[in-house]
Structure 1
Amino acid sequence: MIKMAFFDAKPYEVEAFKKWSTDDIQIRYMEHKLNAQTVDSAKGCDVVCAFVNDTIDGEVLEELQKLGVKLVAMRCAGYNNLDLKALGDLKAVRVPAYSPHAVAEHAMALLLTLNRKTHKAYNRTREFNFSLNGLTGVDLYGKTVGVVGTGRIGRMFIDICRGFGMKVIAYDMYPAEGIDYVDLDTLFRESDFISLHCPLTDETHHLVDEKRFAIMKDSAILINTSRGALVDSVALVEALWNKQLRAVGLDVYEEEANYFFEDCSGEIIDDATLQLLVSMPNVLLTSHQAFLTEEALSNIAETTLNNVKEFMLNGNLVNEIK
């Protein structure tokens, strides 16, 4: 019997995993996140299943090894919260692709909502306010969209944009065929809309900073559905104050770990930057939900459990993180 400690479990995840679970894996679902204070919850387990806001640093990994854990199974594509250099004898796997359609479609949903202000129109009509003042958008057709990162999700987003008749320019260190690539400064300077679809690395940390905001069109809309720290949040607030861009859609935030996925409606948020962003009329913030479709949840559960069984039963490291 394989025993797995499942941290930061949410009801929609538990439902998906139960559909794919089999008798050879016993899952211990826990609501708390994995960190130095909670790592002992993995005692007696062979596998730890973690998500994007768990803390998997050297201290946690050292303790996991002492507890006899053999595998860290990330149920997501990104793993910037996992200290690879501190893995030691532990192995790590991930879900490299669960539904690129889900994230790409959410990015477009953010762009469409910000442009045509449908969220504001919804609130108005609920109060029988049918005025159109302040709701003017622009045609997407013929506009230039800059896509940073042309992996699976980035290419799906490009396909959607082309369906709207938009001109696409892109940046990626590993170009794909059939896409018009430019350097980053050109992309930020020429794009009417910019969407981020790249992983968080040392090179991409604060990719969008004060200098990049300064060269953007003041009519531009920025979308980020990848990782929060791609955008310097303090610089973003300054840019919005200075009207250096028209709007921003965020599904991620660089200090999101203490808030996203949780109900904080009864608390005072002690993050001044987050409070400012939420209060701004041209900021649309969602809580890291771009992945949240039935298809994606099913794929995540199936792939994660297959990764675990392949390693524990056959010694195979499918989707290994190296």
Structure 2
Amino acid sequence: MKAYLDLVRSIFEQGAWQDNRTGVRTLSLPGACLRFDLRQGFPAVTTKRLAFKAAMGELVGFLRAADSAADFRALGCRVWDQNANENRAWLDSPWRDGPDDLGPVYGVQWRQWPAYKLLPADAAARIEAAQARGYRVVGPVQDGGAPHVLLYKAVDQLRACLDALIHDPGSRRILFHGWNWAQIEEMALPPCHLLYQFLANPATRELSLCLYIRSNDVGLGTPFNLAEGAALTHLVARLTGYEPRWFTYFIGDAHIYETHVDMLREQLDREPLPAPRLHLSDRIPAYADTGRYEPEWLERLEPADFVLEGYRHHPPLTAPMAV
């Protein structure tokens, strides 16, 4: 994958050394962008072996709103073990609920974003309108000395995106994100890949994704996140009647950990191989073929439903994850 290697070169050539919370220095570059035409293949790194099954396990965990490292392990993904059980700040946090707990990370925000409304008790029309949109009354509260009503619902952002692709595909508001300021302190790790915007072209029946990542570990995280974002685009396209097209990957802080330098320099010496293809299991319904909208498949997926075909790669390379 040439674009990935070009990013690595740019960081080596233009990045600056910085200290950070992990204690492992990074060579950091502010602002980076990768762009892939998904018609030309799947953006899997080929200069080392991509842990594709683990990446798909993590994606499925996100889709299921997993909040425990044990949930991810059951799906074949162990990348959350250290953040759950070895991060000193999280181990000391009053929000941690025992071994393997992660708090309301990623998928919890994607699928169960906690939404509240505090309305005056006499605002009957507003309360009724909120209830019509799925809010339920939690109870009466006093605010500023006046009686109010607190209402709550869990917002399924991802499902709302699929609904919009079916009913309002020309919208430029089809997005979801995971940066919930009210719950950041309750998470083992705040979201890095945090904003996903779907852009549909109803005329060509093509679906594109723009993904913004605030902070990206280019050695270990970028290959994982590229695979997950591209696979999600394929999946959402299948469920809503589109063909996957452009995948644009924006990074705020693109960095290489000092402990990853040797691994990445070795990759730069390797020739990238042709991109593989992604095959989605035939059991996942294609809206374009059936005409039936079945968003419940977001919860039915298994990691084995995602298969890389024709994936050729160089030998594996490993490096420690900074926590």
Q: TM-score, normalised by structure 2?
A: 0.24
More strand by share: 2
Q: TM-score, normalised by structure 1?
A: 0.24
Structure showing greater relative contact order (alpha-carbon pairs closer than 8 Å, 6 or more residues apart): 2
